[in-house]
Amino acid sequence: MQERLAFARAAYDAVALYDPKRTAVELDLTDNTNLWGIPPTAERTLREMPVAAVTRYPTLYAAELKAELALLHGVSADMIVTGCGSDDILDSAMRAFGEPGELVAGSEPSFAMIPIFAQMNALRWRGISERSTTAAQHTGHQPDIDALLATTPKILYLCSPNNPTGALIARASIERAIAHARGVVFIDEAYAEFAGVSSIDLVARSERVLIIRTMSKAYGLAGLRLGYAIGQPSLVMEVEKSRGPYKLNAMAERVALSALRYDSEWVAEHVALAVTLRERLAGALRAMGLAPMPSAANFVCVPVAQCVAVGQAMRTRGVAVRPFPALPHVGDALRISVGPWPLMERMLSALAPALREVNG
């Protein structure tokens, strides 16, 4: 192990550099981005970007983009904060609300970066296993709201639809979490477009709710890093202060504006397609004798024994999916991004022999 630098911050001793050691592969279905690509007007804006957009600084806080997002979601512009990906929003918001040593709590399994962002901000992380599926059969995989509330976290993180299970959190659970929380409630809606439901309306009722969204998934702009959050103006202002100026680069801002103004039809069409093909993929997996979990997102999580070895065997066949070993109440599973059907067929043709090779 490397010696600690005498002048390094102690809170970072336990922080490892995030590096999932991804290697290039012919078909990458690991990150739930938009496998159909970028919307057409957004692409034109990107190609025609004036050089001046790069030589000058971007706007301080992306006011024009906030106004457009406000229009989309039926809120006022001062209820929106943008960031360099929703990763940046989550990080800035943790820094805004958590004093060093305070607690961030969330359900497990969920978005793997949350404990890391907590650590990066010198906060404590507490993961609580979701309720067992047998107890929650009627609603699928659900967080244990009572157990989460009992930890009295400064920040309660909920993800709906959840990554990696794809489960939508029951509306009543979200409302209960908000009603009884003593701190801030983050609701990560990175995949909400594919679910067709959102908790954005709840921000009007509570000053402690922050809804986190991204343009990396349905909008196909992951490489430009565009995230945003919605909350009451006083809450959002704290995140904006913590985020700081010039965080959204000029190209991202312009391309996102185009996508929001002119590409809503393309986005809606491709969301609908992803939903249709998600169900078709689930059917194909069931036909192989597997039991995919119900998903409200643009990916499918399917229990598969020895998932790491199966994932590796698929990689040798040019296809990457994300293995999740030992998920609570599930065991080993693979998470597969949904995309155009020929890509799904290509994935299935790698999965079948990989399963035979590893699990017999």
Contact residue for ligand PMP among 216, 258, 295, 337 (CB under 6 A)? 216
Can you tell me the distance from the alpha carbon of 359 to that of 305, in angstroms, rounded to the nearest whole number? Answer: 7
* Tokens linked to 41: 């007007």
Query: Whole-number minimum distance, CB 84 to ligand PMP, in Å?
Result: 8
Q: How many residues bind ligand PMP (CB under 6 A)?
A: 12
- State yes or no: residue 214 binds ligand PMP (CB under 6 A): yes
Contact residue for ligand PMP among 80, 94, 122, 159 (CB under 6 A)? 159
* Tokens linked to 74: 């039926």
* Tokens linked to 270: 């491709």
Contact residue for ligand PMP among 11, 53, 222, 290 (CB under 6 A)? 222
Query: Whole-number minimum distance, CB 190 to ligand PMP, in Å?
Result: 4
Contact residue for ligand PMP among 188, 238, 253, 332 (CB under 6 A)? 188
Q: Is the dihedral of CA 96, 256, 163, 15 positive or negative?
A: negative
Angle at 337 between CA 333 and CA 342, to 5 degrees: 120
211 or 313, CB closer to ligand PMP?
211
How far, rounded to the nearest angstrom, does the alpha carbon of residue 226 sit from its chain's CA centroid? 12
Chain residue whose CB lies nearest ligand PMP: 85
87 or 130, CB closer to ligand PMP?
87
128-147 as b/e, with b when 16 or more CB fall inside 10 Å? bebbebeebeebbbbbbbee
- State yes or no: residue 227 binds ligand PMP (CB under 6 A): yes
Show contacts with ligand PMP in window 305-324 (CB under 6 A): none
Query: Whole-number minimum distance, CB 8 to ligand PMP, in Å?
Result: 26
Nearest to 157 by CA among 172, 169, 141: 169
188 or 240, CB closer to ligand PMP?
188
* Tokens linked to 152: 């009295």
- State yes or no: residue 232 binds ligand PMP (CB under 6 A): no
135 or 197, CB closer to ligand PMP?
197
Show contacts with ligand PMP in window 94-133 (CB under 6 A): 111
* Tokens linked to 120: 């990066």
Query: Is the CB of residue 266 less than 8 Å from the CB of residue 39?
Result: yes
- State yes or no: residue 68 binds ligand PMP (CB under 6 A): no
- State yes or no: residue 238 binds ligand PMP (CB under 6 A): no
Contact residue for ligand PMP among 79, 190, 250, 284 (CB under 6 A)? 190
Query: Whole-number minimum distance, CB 29 to ligand PMP, in Å?
Result: 13
Can you tell me the distance from the alpha carbon of 79 to that of 213, in angstroms, rounded to the nearest whole number? Answer: 13
Show contacts with ligand PMP in window 74-93 (CB under 6 A): 85-87
Query: Whole-number minimum distance, CB 217 to ligand PMP, in Å?
Result: 7
215 or 354, CB closer to ligand PMP?
215
Q: Which residues bind ligand PMP (CB under 6 A)?
A: 85-87, 111, 159, 163, 188, 190, 214, 216, 222, 227
